[in-house]
Structure 1
């Protein structure tokens, strides 16, 4: 990744810190949802593949938003930034 928050560290430490990554996940979820809907949202192989892509990108976006909101509510992000 291009930003400093995403270039190093463990996966769990990267969640919810980078607005660019969250926007990217939102765009991926939007595009995959549109592709799934365009393919008919049925049980064909291409539609199921698009659905799995939607679930993966939407799940990653949900994790980002969950950790971001937890850090905002508890103030945990301020303590992590001071240590680095």
Structure 2
């Protein structure tokens, strides 16, 4: 589910996490759509196949979003340190 920027710039999965705000926005939209949909349609029948599929999708997207949000501040600091090093000539 990565954007074209991530596909071109970064190689492995761990390099992509926490860098691209477009991917984070996509995950927020997915969570904002999946969880209310599950609550409205399937909370009364949590053992149905559709309910379980939405629960898995919601949990996976929420987990990935949390991973992005946890690493985002560290990636920002690391990138700002690199740009300062380049500017100072180190």
TM interval, shorter chain, is 0.7 to 0.9
- Segments of 4+ moved more than 4 angstroms: 79-83
The normalised TM-score by structure 2 is 0.74
Q: Which residue of 1 aligns with 2:74?
A: 70
Shift, 1:80, TM fit: 5.5
Higher relative contact order (CA 8 A, sep 6+): 2
CA RMSD of aligned residues (A): 2.0
The normalised TM-score by structure 1 is 0.78
Q: Is the 8 A contact 1:25 1:58 kept in 2?
A: yes
Kindly tell me: are residues 70 and 49 of structure 1, through their superposed partners in 2, closer, same or farther at Cα, counting changes over 3 Å?
same
Q: Which runs of 5+ in 1 are unaligned?
A: none
Larger Rg: 2
Q: Which residue of 1 aligns with 2:50?
A: 46
Q: Which runs of 5+ in 2 are unaligned?
A: none
Distance in structure 2 (CA, Å) of the matches to 1:45 and 1:14? 32
